[in-house]
C-alpha cells in the first residue's frame, strides 16, 4: 500500500506516465520545468472534465454566454488590471547555492531547501509572474505583450460585446476555458503548480445590491461541481481568505481546498471582484461599461462574482481520489476508481484468444456495436486476459468485455466490473 503522502503522489505520477496520461514536457530534451504533456488517456480525461464543466455551467443554463478570447492581449489590459504592477510573488535567493524560492511557500523560512544553508536568504523582492513577449517584428516598449496569467481579462474585455449582441438580463455570466501562463518561481507537485495550465472561469455579472445572495448561490454550485467530479465531500474544504491575503481586486474570497496527497491545497477560488475590472476598463479605455436595466432608466456598472477553476488541479483531485490499491487473489492490484462519466475508456473489448479468427471476428462485431453506442471503447488483445484486466484497471476502465467460444453459440459475453472484479454473462444485445 502507498502509505505516506509522497508515496501516493509518486505512485500516481508513475502510473500517469506508464499508462499514457501525463508526461514531463520536452522530456526527450531533459524536460522544461513546470510544463506537462498529455498522452492519449490524459487528454481524454482532461477534456471529459472540461466538457462536463461546459455542459453544467454553460449549456444547461440560460444565463451563461461562452467566449474564447485571444491569449495575447493589448498590454493596456494588464496595466489597467493591475497585473503589471502587482501580480507578483515574494522571491528570495540563497547566497550559498544561488537557488531562488518563493518566500511564502518555504517549509522553513531560515533554511535553504536545496543546500540546507542556514539564514542564507536575501530580502524578499516582488517577482512578476507574467511571461513577457513582443508582438510583431519590432522589439520595443510598444510591442510588449504578455501570455495571459488568467482567462478572466478576456471575459471582461468582451463584456460590452456580449451586452450589445445579446442584451441579457442581470444576473448573467460569461464563461471561458483556456490556457493561462504564470512564471511560477517554484513549479512543483506534479501538475498542481505548473507554468502553463488551463483555467475554466466565469465572470458572473450582478446588481451590486445582490452580490451577497449571488455569492452564496455560487458556494452551493461549486460544491455541486466537486460532487459531479466524484470528489468525496469530506475532502473539500472552504477557506475564507482574509484581508491582506486576498488578490488586489477582491473584497471577499473563498478558496476551495482539497485534501490532495501533497496535503490540503487550493483546488479553485471564488471571488467577489466588485466592479474593479469593468471600472478599470471604463477609466482606461474610455468606454462606458454601464448596464441599463431593461425598460427603465436605471444604469450602473455591474459587480462580479468569479468562480475560477483550474483544470489541472481538478484532474489531480480526480486522479488522487480515484487511485486505489487492493488485493485480488493474494496479489496487489492498482486501479483507478474513476467515475464512469469521466473515465477515458468506458469499455475494453477482447477476444479470449487472439489467434482464433472466429473469436476475433465476433469480438470485432461487439467492439463496433459498443463503439457506436459509447465512443470511448478500446480494443485490447495484448497479453493474456489477466494482463489485460490489470492494464484496464490501471487506466480506470469500468467494464471489460470478453468474447469466448460460448459466445459464438449463445451470443453472450463475460463482462467484468472494475471495482468489484465480479464477472457476469450477459447478452450482447443488453450491453
Nearer to ligand ATP, 148 or 193 (CB): 193
In the sheet that 100-102 helps form, which strands lie side by side, from edge to edge?
100-102, 88-93, 125-128
Angle (CA) 319-323-324 rounded to 5° is 165
The least CB distance from residue 89 to ligand ATP, in Å, is 8
The least CB distance from residue 168 to ligand ATP, in Å, is 25
Interface with ligand ATP (CB under 6 A), residue from 157, 176, 280, 308: 308
Nearer to ligand ATP, 271 or 403 (CB): 271
Q: How many residues bind ligand ATP (CB under 6 A)?
A: 13
The least CB distance from residue 310 to ligand ATP, in Å, is 2
- CA 140/CA 134 separation, integer angstroms: 8
Nearer to ligand ATP, 247 or 415 (CB): 247
Nearer to ligand ATP, 11 or 262 (CB): 262
Nearer to ligand ATP, 182 or 391 (CB): 182
Interface with ligand ATP (CB under 6 A), residue from 214, 312, 394, 404: 312
What is the helix (H) or strand (E) element at residue 202, kind and residue range? strand 196-206
Nearer to ligand ATP, 184 or 404 (CB): 184
- CA 341/CA 333 separation, integer angstroms: 23
Nearer to ligand ATP, 185 or 378 (CB): 185
The least CB distance from residue 4 to ligand ATP, in Å, is 22
With binding defined as CB under 6 A, does residue 10 bind ligand ATP?
A: no
**Nine cell digits for residue 330:** 493474494
CB 396 within 8 A of CB 322: yes
Nearer to ligand ATP, 267 or 345 (CB): 267
The least CB distance from residue 56 to ligand ATP, in Å, is 17
Using the rule CB under 6 A, give the single segment among 91-99, 279-287, 309-317, 331-339 that binds ligand ATP: 309-317
Interface with ligand ATP (CB under 6 A), residue from 93, 96, 210, 266: 266
Size of the chain in residues: 431
Rounded to a whole number of angstroms, the CA Rg of the chain reads: 25
Nearer to ligand ATP, 168 or 178 (CB): 178
| Per-residue interface string for the shown chain with ligand ATP, residues 145-184, x marking contact by CB under 6 A | -------------------------------------x-x
The strand pair at 347-351 and 377-379 is best described as: parallel
What is the helix (H) or strand (E) element at residue 41, kind and residue range? helix 40-54
With binding defined as CB under 6 A, does residue 310 bind ligand ATP?
A: yes
CB 342 within 8 A of CB 311: no
With binding defined as CB under 6 A, does residue 313 bind ligand ATP?
A: yes
**Position closest to ligand ATP via CB:** 310
Q: Please, which contacts does 15-24 make with residues 24 or more away whose CB atoms are closer than 8 Å?
A: 15/323, 15/334, 15/336, 15/394, 16/42, 16/190, 16/319, 18/394, 19/391, 19/394, 19/395, 20/395, 21/45, 21/319, 21/395, 22/190, 22/191
Using the rule CB under 6 A, give the single segment among 264-272, 297-305, 318-326, 346-354 that binds ligand ATP: 264-272
Phi first, then psi: what are they for 8, rounded to 5°?
A: -65, -45
How far is C-alpha 96 from the geometric centre of its chain's CA atoms?
37
Using the rule CB under 6 A, give the single segment among 78-86, 265-273, 345-353, 392-400 that binds ligand ATP: 265-273
Of 272, 256, 250, 175, give the one whose Cα is nearest residue 222: 256
Residue-by-residue DSSP string for 311-329:
HHHHHHHHHHHHEEEEEET
Nearer to ligand ATP, 9 or 359 (CB): 9
Q: Tell me which residues in 178-207 interact with ligand ATP (CB under 6 A).
A: 182, 184, 193-194, 197, 199
Binding footprint of ligand ATP on the chain (CB under 6 A): 182, 184, 193-194, 197, 199, 266, 268-269, 308, 310, 312-313
Amino acid at each position: 500500500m502507498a502509505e505516506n503522502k509522497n508515496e501516493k503522489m509518486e505512485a500516481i505520477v508513475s502510473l500517469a506516465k506508464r499508462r499514457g496520461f501525463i508526461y514531463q514536457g520536452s522530456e526527450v530534451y531533459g524536460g522544461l520545468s513546470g510544463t506537462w504533456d498529455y498522452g492519449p488517456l490524459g487528454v481524454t480525461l482532461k477534456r471529459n472534465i472540461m466538457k462536463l464543466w461546459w455542459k453544467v455551467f454553460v449549456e444547461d443554463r440560460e444565463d451563461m454566454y461562452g467566449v474564447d478570447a485571444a491569449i495575447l492581449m493589448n498590454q493596456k489590459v494588464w496595466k489597467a488590471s493591475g497585473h503589471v504592477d502587482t501580480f507578483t510573488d515574494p522571491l528570495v535567493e540563497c547566497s550559498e547555492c544561488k537557488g531562488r524560492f518563493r518566500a511564502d511557500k518555504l517549509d522553513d523560512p531560515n533554511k535553504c531547501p536545496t543546500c540546507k544553508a542556514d539564514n542564507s536568504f536575501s530580502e524578499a523582492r516582488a517577482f512578476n509572474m507574467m511571461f513577457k513577449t513582443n508582438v510583431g517584428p519590432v522589439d520595443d516598449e510598444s510591442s510588449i505583450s504578455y501570455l495571459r496569467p488568467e482567462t478572466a481579462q478576456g471575459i471582461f474585455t468582451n463584456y460590452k460585446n456580449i451586452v450589445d449582441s445579446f442584451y441579457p438580463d442581470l444576473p448573467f455570466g460569461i464563461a471561458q476555458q483556456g490556457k493561462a501562463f504564470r512564471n511560477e518561481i517554484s513549479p512543483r507537485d506534479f501538475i498542481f503548480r505548473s507554468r502553463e495550465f488551463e483555467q475554466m472561469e466565469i465572470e458572473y455579472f450582478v446588481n451590486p445590491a445582490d452580490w451577497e445572495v449571488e455569492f452564496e448561490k455560487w458556494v452551493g454550485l461549486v460544491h455541486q461541481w466537486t460532487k459531479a467530479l466524484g470528489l468525496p465531500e469530506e475532502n473539500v474544504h472552504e477557506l475564507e481568505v482574509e484581508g491582506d491575503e486576498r488578490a488586489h481586486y477582491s473584497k471577499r474570497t473563498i478558496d476551495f481546498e482539497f485534501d490532495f496527497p501533497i496535503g490540503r491545497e487550493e483546488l479553485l477560488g471564488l471571488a467577489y471582484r466588485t466592479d474593479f475590472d469593468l471600472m478599470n476598463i471604463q477609466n482606461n479605455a474610455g468606454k462606458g461599461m454601464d448596464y441599463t436595466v431593461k425598460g427603465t432608466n436605471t444604469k450602473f456598472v455591474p459587480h462580479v462574482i468569479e468562480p475560477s477553476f483550474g483544470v489541472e488541479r481538478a484532474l489531480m483531485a480526480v486522479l488522487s481520489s480515484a487511485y486505489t490499491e487492493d488485493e485480488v487473489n493474494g496479489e496487489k492490484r492498482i486501479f483507478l476508481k474513476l467515475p464512469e462519466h469521466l473515465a477515458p475508456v468506458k469499455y475494453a473489448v477482447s477476444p479470449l484468444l487472439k489467434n482464433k479468427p472466429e473469436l476475433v471476428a465476433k469480438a470485432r462485431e461487439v467492439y463496433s456495436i459498443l463503439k457506436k453506442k459509447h465512443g470511448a471503447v478500446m480494443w485490447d488483445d495484448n497479453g493474456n486476459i489477466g494482463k489485460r484486466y490489470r492494464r484496464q484497471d490501471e487506466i480506470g476502465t469500468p467494464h471489460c468485455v470478453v468474447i469466448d467460444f460460448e459466445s459464438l453459440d449463445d451470443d453472450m459475453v463475460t463482462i467484468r466490473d472494475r471495482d468489484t472484479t465480479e464477472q457476469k454473462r450477459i447478452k450482447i444485445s443488453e450491453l
